[in-house]
Structure 1
Amino acid sequence: MANSWDGVDLRNMIVEHEKLSFIQRYACLIGRFAAFDITAPNAGLRGEVEKSIMAFTAEQLAGNCSFLMSIRFLARQTRGMFDAGPRLARLLASHQRWLLTQTAYALHLEYDPRDPTSGFTAVRLTGRITAHKVASRNTVLAFIEELYTYRFITHTPGDERRRPRHFEPAIVSHQAMFTWIHVNLAALDLLDGGERAAFFQANPALMKLVQPRIARHCLEDAAWREPPEQVAQFLWTEAGGLVVDNFIARMEPEETEAGKFLVGRVETRALAADFMMSRTHLQRLLAKAAQRGCVGWHDEPRKTRLWISQGFVEEYSAWQAVKFAYVDEAFEWAKARIEELAV
C-alpha cells in the first residue's frame, strides 16, 4: 500500500491532523507510531537500506572548507533557541546535560508497549548513563527531578502510581528537540544544497527513527562522549556550551591574525547575566582558557576585545563533525527505511 506501514495510511494520518498546530501534529504522530515497531530489524529490508545510505563522514566534514560556516549557522540558531526558552535551552548547554537529555528522549521514543520496563524510566536512564560513566546515579535522579519540576516532562497517564514509573516529554520539549534536529539538518544542507531540513519538516514522524539513532551513536562513541581537552574545559561546565556558541557565532573567519579569530567586544558581566551564570564562574572559565591559549584579549589589561585561537576552532570543528556525521547518517538511514516501507 503506497504511503502506508502495515496498513497505517500516512497520508490520511497527516490530513487528519492538519487543523492542529505543527508541533501538536508531530506529538500526535509520534504517539500513533509508538504502537508500531518500525525500528525492528528486517533481514531483507535492513540490508538494502544500510547499503543505500550516502551520508557525510566525520572526516569529510572536518576536511570541508565550508564546514565552519555550518557550525556558525548552528551556533546562531542555538542562540535563537535559547532566547525562545532559556531554561529549556540550558539542558543542552553542558555536555553532560546534552547526553542526559538526548538519551532520555531516545528512551521515550523507544518505548515498546509489549515491554513494561522499556521507555523513559529512572532505572533505564540511570543504567544507560552510568554504563558510560557520564554521570552518577544521584546526578541522573536529580536531573529527572529538575525536568519534572519545570514541567519539561510529565508522568505517562496512568503510570503515576505504577512501578516502574514512566515519563514522557511535554509538548515544549518535543518542540525543542524537533527544532534542534531540524537546524542540524539545515546546517548540513548548507554544505551540499540538500533538502534534509525540508524533508524532515514535511515528515515529522521521522523523529521516531532519527533521534534515538543519533542519541545512541553519540553516547556510545567516545570521540563525541569525551570531548578533546580544549573543548572539554568549556563543555563540561554549566552553560559552557552557550559560551562557546556565542564566540563561534560572533567570530569572523575572514579576520584572522597569527592564528587568532576576532570575536569582538565581550562584557563578562552582561554575558554572564544573559546566560544565567555567575560572573565569577565565567571569568574563571575564560582565565583557564586563556592560560591554555584558547582565547585571549587584544586589549590587555582591559580585556574587552576577545579573540579565539585557530587551534581551538579546529579542534571544536573536528569534534562537532562527529555529531554531524551521526545526524546525517541517522537521517539518511531513516529516510531510506521509510521510502522502502512505503513502496
Structure 2
Amino acid sequence: MAYTAEQLAGNCAFLTSIRFLAGQTRSMFDAGPRLARLLASHQRWLLTQTAYALHLEYDPRDPTSGFTAVRLTGRITAHKVASRNTVLAFIEELYTYRFIAHTPGDERRRPRHFEPATVSHQAMFAWIHANLAALDLLDGGERAAVFQANPSLMRLVQPRIARHCLEDAGWREPPAQVALFLWTEAGGLVVDNFMARMEPEDTEAGKFLVGRVETRALAADFMMSRTHLQRLLAKAAQRGCVGWHDEPRKTHLWISRDFVEEYCAWQAVKFAYVDEAFEWAKARIDALAG
C-alpha cells in the first residue's frame, strides 16, 4: 500500500528522506550541472517531467501523440504553468544543448517529434531511483532495488508521476514560502543545499542551523548571479523563512521550522505520487509475469 501525502508529512522520519534526496540532487547537479538546472525551478520541473512523459506515451499508431511542441504547449498552458512562448523557448534550449533531438525521420515532418538524449534518460532514471530510495528509508523497503533491476518500470512510472503532479494544484502551486524559492531560477538548488546541510538535532526556538553560507561561492556554484541570490535570501528573511545569526555580517544562516514543515508537506504530495506510481506499475508487471 502506497503512502498518502498526509502519512508522509506526519511521519517524524520523513525529514530524513527529504534531506537524503537533497543530497542526491546535489550529486546529480555535480554530475551534470546544466541538465540538473532543468529541475531547479518548479516551472522547469513541470515542463521537463511533462515533456518526458509525452515522449514515453508515444503511440506509433497516433502521429499526433508523443513529445511535440503542440502537445507540450497544450498540456502546460491548460494548467497555466507557462505561456506558449516560454514552452517554445524551453524546447529550443533543450535542443540547443542536445538534451533532446528530433526523432529520426521527423526532421521535415509536421508535427515534428522530439526524443530525449541518452543523458536525459539517465538523469530521469536517476531522479526516480533517488526518490524511491528516499521512500525506502522510511520503511526499509526495496523500491529502489526493484526499480534498478526492472528498468522497464520507467515507462509506466514516470508518466503517471508527471500527470498526477501536473494535475494536482497541491503540487503544481507551491505554498507561499516554498514558492518564493521554487518559482525562481535555481531556487530549488538553494533549498536542497540548505536542507542537506541543516542540523535537525541542532535547533533553537523554531530554527534549524544551516551553518556558514558564502553567497558569492554559492551563487557561482549554482551558476546564478550573486545579486539574484542575495535578493532571494533578503525576501526569504523578510518573511521569516531564513535569517542570520551574525547580523550584519550575514555568514551563518538558519532556516525556520515553519518553512521546513511547509516544504516537507509540499514534498509529501510528490512523494505520495511517486510511491503510488511505483506500486501501480509493479502490480501491472507482476500480473503480466504471473
Pick the TM interval, shorter chain.
Answer: over 0.9
CA distance in 1, matches of 2:209, 2:279: 36
After TM superposition, give the deviation of residue 330 of structure 1 in Å: 0.1
- State the TM-score, normalizing by the size of structure 1: 0.84
3-state DSSP class of the match of 1:262?
strand
CA distance in 1, matches of 2:112, 2:267: 35
Q: Which runs of no fewer than 5 residues in structure 2 stay unpaired?
A: none
CA distance in 2, matches of 1:338, 1:248: 35
3-state DSSP class of the match of 2:249?
coil
After TM superposition, give the deviation of residue 132 of structure 1 in Å: 0.1
After TM superposition, give the deviation of residue 199 of structure 1 in Å: 0.1
CA distance in 2, matches of 1:81, 1:338: 28
Deviations 1:86-132 (A, max 9, x none): 00000000000000000000000000001000000000000000000
- State the TM-score, normalizing by the size of structure 2: 1.00
Deviations 1:37-76 (A, max 9, x none): xxxxxxxxxxxxxxxxx10000000000000000000000
2:267 is the counterpart of 1:324: no
After TM superposition, give the deviation of residue 133 of structure 1 in Å: 0.1
After TM superposition, give the deviation of residue 340 of structure 1 in Å: 0.4
**How many residues were matched structurally?**
290
After TM superposition, give the deviation of residue 261 of structure 1 in Å: 0.1
Question: Percent of counterpart pairs with the same letter?
Answer: 92
Following TM superposition, where does structure 1 have runs of at least 4 consecutive aligned residues deviating by more than 3 angstroms?
none
CA distance in 2, matches of 1:136, 1:158: 29
Q: Which residue of 2 aligns with 1:301?
A: 248
3-state DSSP class of the match of 2:61?
coil
Q: Which residue of 2 aligns with 1:206?
A: 153
3-state DSSP class of the match of 2:266?
helix
CA distance in 1, matches of 2:210, 2:42: 23
CA distance in 2, matches of 1:143, 1:90: 12
CA distance in 2, matches of 1:111, 1:268: 44
2:98 is the counterpart of 1:98: no
After TM superposition, give the deviation of residue 290 of structure 1 in Å: 0.1
Deviations 1:119-150 (A, max 9, x none): 00000000000000000000000000000000
Deviations 1:289-327 (A, max 9, x none): 000000000000000000000000000000000000000
After TM superposition, give the deviation of residue 342 of structure 1 in Å: 1.1
3-state DSSP class of the match of 1:83?
helix
Q: Which runs of no fewer than 5 residues in structure 1 stay unpaired?
A: 1-53
After TM superposition, give the deviation of residue 335 of structure 1 in Å: 0.1
3-state DSSP class of the match of 1:120?
coil
3-state DSSP class of the match of 1:70?
helix
After TM superposition, give the deviation of residue 341 of structure 1 in Å: 1.0
CA distance in 1, matches of 2:19, 2:122: 22
Kindly name which structure, 1 or 2, has the bigger radius of gyration based on alpha carbons: 1
After TM superposition, give the deviation of residue 169 of structure 1 in Å: 0.1
Structure 2 counterpart of 1:121, from 65, 68, 71: 68
CA distance in 2, matches of 1:176, 1:305: 33
Deviations 1:162-190 (A, max 9, x none): 00000000000000000000000000000
CA distance in 1, matches of 2:127, 2:265: 20
CA distance in 2, matches of 1:289, 1:76: 22
